[in-house]
Structure 1
Amino acid sequence: MDKKLLSLLVCPLCKGNLILDKEKSELICKFDGVAYKIDDDIPVMLPESGRALSTDEKLAK
């Protein structure tokens, strides 16, 4: 994913910063505990499409 695009994207729920997880192709909001998938380099940023993070994922750096 393009770093410039990543710097412009924010969480649709809290407007906070997102963390790119390249292995899972997801953008993660640690504050809300939600991960948004990336399909074919296009982030799916709909709140209802987000996946709740597990406790281990929330605690990981």
Structure 2
Amino acid sequence: METTAINTPGRVPWNKGKFTGQKPSLKLKEIWAIRIRLQLSALTRDLAIFNLAIDSS
């Protein structure tokens, strides 16, 4: 059985040349901005989940 390799010379990986490592953590100012926005929107569940995520890290 003959196998043929399909070569696609024009194909570029989606992450070529992009930084793929760990992202920088949120700053305290950004955390409080998110908390205030969730409180003003009355999204209690989302605020609780956000606080849990922040407190667990």
TM-score w.r.t. the length of structure 1 is 0.25
Q: Which has the higher strand share?
A: 1
Answer 1 or 2: higher relative contact order, Cα 8 Å, separation at least 6. Answer: 1
Q: Which has the higher helix share?
A: 2
TM-score w.r.t. the length of structure 2 is 0.26
